[in-house]
Amino acid sequence: MSPENLTRLLTGLGTAADVVEAIDNPHLQQQRGWDLSCWRYDLVPWGVRFRRRELHSSPEAEVLAVLAFDSPPAIVLGDGVPQGRQKTVVLFGH
């Protein structure tokens, strides 16, 4: 799954939890039609950091999904592509 598709999939921390569960369960990925084979995750305060690392093709990518107090329902921030790494931050309002 591309970083853009993962970002579109994340509509809240509930869907972020679904993605975490699917990363740990390839059968669940197959049921949902997701290919998360190159994705890993780290739990961070108030959210999840998703990291994609492919050996031979695309550069490393990172999607950070966190709860942001006093924010609109969802904001996507992209900071460009520093040194071949794509980073996206998704803030979910409370």
For all residues of the chain together, what is the average pLDDT? 78
Q: How far apart are the first and last CA of the chain?
A: 27
Q: Give the predicted TM-score (pTM) of the model.
A: 0.74
From edge to edge, which strands make up the β-sheet containing 61-68? Answer: 39-44, 47-52, 61-68, 86-93, 74-78
Sequence spans of domains, the chain: 3-93
Residue 76 tokens, joined = 């996507």
Task: Count CA within 13 A, CB hemisphere, residue 20.
Answer: 15
What pLDDT digit, counting tens, does each position of 14-33 carry? Answer: 899 999 999 999 999 999 99
